[in-house]
Structures are given as C-alpha cells and as structure tokens.
Chains A and B, each alone.
Chain A
Amino acid sequence: DTGVSQDPRHKITKRGQNVTFRCDPISEHNRLYWYRQTLGQGPEFLTYFQNEAQLEKSRLLSDRFSAERPKGSFSTLEIQRTEQGDSAMYLCASSLSNTGGPANEQFFGPGTRLTVL
C-alpha cells in the first residue's frame, strides 16, 4: 500500500501520560499535515510541514503538543500530560506542492484514535 500510513491505529492511555503518534506520508510528498477530529465534527487543522520545516501551527496546538518531521519524511506528533479532552482521532495527510499549480489534493491516512481515561 503506497498511501499515507499511521501508527498506532488505536491508543488508550491514562490521563497525565505522554503519547506519540507516527505518520508516514506518500513517499514523494513534501507536505505533511496533522488534523484532529472529534465526534460529530470535521477534521480541524493542527499543523503542517513543508519538508522538515514546520510552517504553520493552529491555536489548537497547545504547549503540550509537539510535532516533528526531522528528515522531511515521516512525522511524529507527541502529546504530553494527556487530558481527557485530548481524546480524538488524529489524522495525518500529505500532498505534493507545485508552486503556481492547481490546488494540491491532500491524501489522508486512516488516523490514530486516542482515548484518554
């Protein structure tokens, strides 16, 4: 499968614990996005990378959240001191930017469902 992959698919943790999720984008894609989706809502943007540079962060991304893309390939999203309100589906997407070209489709992964007890 050459699509976007995410690991783990499900994570259950206790409040206060740290968790880390991984996203592997489509190999030639230079842009990588993180979104969060809660029940009954559409995905909400968290942050995005172009290659290894984190270019944009949403106000939703509190200090407890950190994302990295060290080599411009896979990315990790870490949540420190998890809270029950962090329970959500965390989605990763990737796209190939082409400056001056048409809108670039974002391809989504299956998501990581986080449950904080």
Chain B
Amino acid sequence: AQSVSQHNHHVILSEAASLELGCNYSYGGTVNLFWYVQYPGQHLQLLLKYFSGDPLVKGIKGFEAEFIKSKFSFNLRKPSVQWSDTAEYFCAVKTGANNLFFGTGTRLTVIP
C-alpha cells in the first residue's frame, strides 16, 4: 500500500534561516507529488506539484521541491523563511487512483 512519510514533526527556525522538509513515499509506479500548506485558521492550499518533466519544481511564495526518483523523495525547500511561513506543511502522493495519500504533516514555527 502507498504511504507517505514526513519525518520532521515540528521544526522551529529563526527568520531568514533556510528550510528543508523531508518527504518520502513508498510506491513503485508513476506518481504525482504535491505539497500543501495550512496556515493557522485556514484551509489546505497547494504550494506546488510535480507530475512530469523537470524534477525541480517551483511553487508559490519562494518554495521549491525536488523529486528524486531513486530516493522516493520530494523534499520541500525555501532558502530564507519568514514569520508568515509559520504553518503546517503536508506532502501528498497521487498514484493511479484518484485520491491523495497524505503524510502526517510538519508543523513549522518561524521565530521573528
């Protein structure tokens, strides 16, 4: 069965620090990969997605993610975080089925 692992449960950074959140999935076939963000009190929003082509994808608000097929990974990065990036981040995988499999999420706290 498909699964998505996010090993960092809670990350605390100071503003301007660099961010990398890990995401690993288990599925041997073709996947579509997503990062969603949930700001406090708001609903899930798409940050970025990968379905084919360049494995380095850029999303909104300066986020990017790199798909490394050999490592079954899709880590999220941002070179310099801001206080407004404080949120919960979810990695998700879509396989042949139409539903998304989500990781357990990583809570990011950015200290001003």
Contact = CB atoms under 8 A, between A and B. Distances in A.
A associates with B: yes
Interface of A: 4, 31, 33, 35, 40-45, 48, 55-56, 58, 91, 93, 102-103, 105-111
B17 to A, nearest CB: 25
Contact of B44 (A44, A58, A91, A102): A91
B102 interface: yes
A42 B103 CA distance: 5
A41 B51 contact: no
B102 A42 contact: yes
A103 B97 contact: no
B90 A43 contact: yes
B16 interface: no
Contacts, number: 57
Contacts of A110: 42-43
B32 interface: yes
B98 A40 contact: no
> Of A45, A55, A103, A110, which is in contact with the most chain B CB atoms at under 10 Å from its CB?
A103
Interface of B: 4, 6, 32, 34, 36, 42-46, 49, 51-52, 90, 92, 94, 97-105
Contact of B43 (A48, A56, A111): A111
A60 to B, nearest CB: 11
Nearest to A43: B102
Contact of A56 (B6, B45, B97): B97
A105 B100 CA distance: 10
B52 to A, nearest CB: 7
Contacts of B36: 108
Contacts of B44: 43, 91, 93, 108
B88 to A, nearest CB: 9
> Of B36, B97, B98, which is in contact with the most chain A CB atoms at under 10 Å from its CB?
B98
Contacts of A35: 100
Q: Closest 8 interchain pairs by CB? A: A42-B102, A103-B32, A45-B99, A108-B44, A103-B51, A110-B43, A102-B51, A43-B102
